[in-house]
Amino acid sequence: MGDADSDVDADSAPPASRISVIVPAWNEAERIEETLASVVRQAGPWEVLVALGDSDDGTAEAALRALPEARILRGARGRARQMNDGAAAATGDAFLFLHADTRLPPGALDAVRHALAAPTVVAGCFRTAFALDGARFGPLGRRAMRAWSARFWMRWHRFAFGDRALFARREAFAAVGGFPDQPIFEDLDAVRALRRHGRFVFLDAEVETSARRFERHGAVRQQLRNAGLWAAWLLGADPVRLKRFYSDRDRG
């Protein structure tokens, strides 16, 4: 198989395929119900696994209120570890990794099934739209963030970040050994490995992800932070050192 990317517009009826939606969450009690509600509206068959790490804020209870049949997994904290734990327990033909602050659009799982109906496609992701649900920006700030989001999509189209709801065939995910056990950019490194096994596709539909980091740090500061992180990753910086450096700066 090649290393080609492509865009997919999923319009036709897909074949039935069981998708395991894996939600890594750490203290996300305030947000996870909306996230799981976006899964409940999807066409089946699917299952949901919520990998909690060491959450202690009632995330499990909130998840079960939204979706009583959700499977709750506890284990070590760390997004990569939690997603790998979910994949190890999943029974689906394909996995979709959904961050706890990200919501699926209608028809998302059918779009995944349609994409994976092509035998050369091994994985993919969605586009991203920011949910500007905080009061910090104001009307003008919200318009500016939406405009920046559009420019961001055009500039970083080929970067498959984890908040874009990554999905993969079970066998392809197993072939690359899952997500690397690192504190940052586990998503980009896993996608880089998946692309060596087949086509990685970008769906036209948008997932909606929280803009809370922009609300917390300010739009300009967060953009500069992201740009520095991406540049360092592209230059081969150690993810552990990157995470430590930027975490220290956030605390300072």
**Residue 217 confidence (pLDDT):** 52
Q: Residue 215: its pLDDT value, please?
A: 55
What confidence score (pLDDT) does residue 36 get? 98
Mean pLDDT (the chain) is 81
pLDDT at residue 125 in the model = 94
Asked whether the beta carbons of 19 and 86 are under 8 A apart, the reply is no
Structure tokens at 152: 């961001």
Does 239 reside within a domain? no
Asked whether residue 154 carries a pLDDT value surpassing 70, the answer given is no
In a domain, 228, yes or no: no
On whether residue 232 sits in a domain, the answer given is no
Task: Count the residues in the chain.
Answer: 252
Is 226 inside any structural domain?
no
What digits encode the pLDDT tens for the residues 26-70?
999 999 999 999 999 999 999 999 999 888 899 999 999 999 999
Residue 86 has pLDDT above 80, yes or no: yes
Answer whether residue 59 is part of any domain.
Answer: yes
- In sequence order, which residues have a C-beta less than 8 Å from that of residue 182 and are 6 or more positions away? 80, 189, 239, 240
> Has residue 169 got a pLDDT over 80?
yes
Three-state SS for 121? strand
Q: CA separation (Å) from 6 to 28, 65, 158, 232? A: 33, 38, 10, 26
Name the residue with higher pLDDT: 4 or 19: 19
Domain harbouring 97, CATH code: 3.90.550.10
Establish if 227 belongs to a structural domain. Answer: no
With vertex at residue 229, the alpha carbon angle to CA 223 and CA 234, rounded to the nearest 5 degrees, is 125
Is residue 234 in a domain?
no
Which residues form the domain of 76?
Answer: 5-216
> What global pTM score does this model have?
0.80
Domain count, the chain: 1
